[in-house]
Amino acid sequence: MGKIAVITGGGRGIGRAITLALAQKKFKVVVTYFTRRDCCEQTAAEVHELGCETLVVQADVTKRESVRQLISSATDKFGTVDVLVNNAGILQQKPFNTISDEEWDTMLATNLKSVFLCSQEVMPVMMRQGGGSIINISSSGGQLGGMLAVHYAVSKAGVIALTRSLARVGAPDGIRVNCVTPGLIETEMSQKEIHSEVGLQKIGKEIPLRRAGQVEEVATAVAFLACDEASYITGQSINVNGGLYMG
């Protein structure tokens, strides 16, 4: 039986690429969405074309009960969860002094609290089966900071710290926890940044490889961490950023 992976926000962008990369490795995949079911259904159809089973679940990953229902749906369908990819996230760029309380809270709930909730709910399942792999998607913004996305940078830095802590928590039970930190990647969400003055300067002067990355390049790193070949890797941040941040 193929391994079972849950990918939050797996219907589009980086999440879609991750879903397809795992399906190519014969994972059975559970793909979540919050509002865009059409994207998830399209991704699920592509998974079926690869000969793999999938399950599409609507989930608000900022809410405990919704996350519980997600994990329950996954285990009811497939029996267990071997891999969790905490990918769901949002990006907002605006000057620091204009960020509202609501925008701050929404950013941290979507990008950081969701990782806490999903990990906390899936770890007992992984403990019962003797192990598993949790892969969190952070960002180079969480390593470098960002003048136009302070709340985003804070949330993604928190994901890195949470990854390291959970790696220590999960290790005695065979649960590996790692992080992939993409840089400037071509997605629907990043188009505004890529074509902005700041984005063009980043590509031209700050990224040694002088280009934005592709979603498949991020997905390759995630797929590696999900597989047994990475069985001695935990607590790490794998940078996929063209050299934007080296550390």
pLDDT in tens, 85-112: 999 999 998 999 999 999 999 999 999 9
The string of pLDDT tens digits covering residues 43-55 is 999 999 999 999 9
Q: Which of 184, 202, 93, 91 is CA-nearest to residue 147?
A: 93
**Residue 147 CB: number of other CB atoms within 10 A?**
10
Is 233's pLDDT higher than 80?
yes
- In whole angstroms, what separates CA 104 from the centre of its chain? 20
Q: Which position has the higher pLDDT, 188 or 238?
A: 238
The string of pLDDT tens digits covering residues 132-181 is 999 999 999 999 998 889 999 999 999 999 999 999 999 999 999 999 99
Per-residue pLDDT, averaged over 117-136, amounts to 98
Q: Which position has the higher pLDDT, 204 or 3?
A: 3
Helices (H), the chain: 13-24, 37-49, 64-78, 101-108, 114-129, 141-144, 150-170, 191-194, 197-201, 215-226
CATH topology of domain 4-186+214-240: Rossmann fold (3.40.50)
Report the alpha-carbon distance of residue 109 to residue 89 in Å, rounded.
9
Per-residue pLDDT, averaged over 185-193, amounts to 82
DSSP-assigned letter for residue 135:
E
Q: What own/partner pairs with CB < 8 Å and gap ≥ 24 does 143-150 have?
A: 143/181, 143/237, 143/239, 143/245, 143/247, 144/244, 144/245, 147/96, 148/93, 148/94, 148/95, 148/198, 149/91, 149/92, 149/93, 149/94, 150/96, 150/99
Give the pLDDT band (50/70/90) at residue 202.
confident
- Beta-carbon contacts of 73 under 8 Å, excluding residues fewer than 6 positions away, are 30, 55, 57
**Residue 75 CB: number of other CB atoms within 10 A?**
17
The residues facing 213 across adjacent strands are 185
Is 199's pLDDT higher than 80?
no
What's the pLDDT score for residue 89?
95
Type of residue at 106: T
Is 1's pLDDT higher than 60?
no
SS3 of residue 240 by DSSP: strand
Task: Give catalytic residue positions.
Answer: 152
Whole-prediction pTM? 0.95
CA angle 59, 163, 222 (to 5 degrees): 70
Is 208's pLDDT higher than 60?
yes
Lowest pLDDT segment from 17-26, 50-59, 151-160, 186-195: 186-195
What is the domain partition of the chain in residue ranges? 4-186+214-240
Report the alpha-carbon distance of residue 215 to residue 232 in Å, rounded.
25
The string of pLDDT tens digits covering residues 64-93 is 999 999 999 999 999 999 999 999 999 998
Report the alpha-carbon distance of residue 45 to residue 178 in Å, rounded.
29
Report the alpha-carbon distance of residue 34 to residue 126 in Å, rounded.
25
Averaged confidence pLDDT in the chain = 95
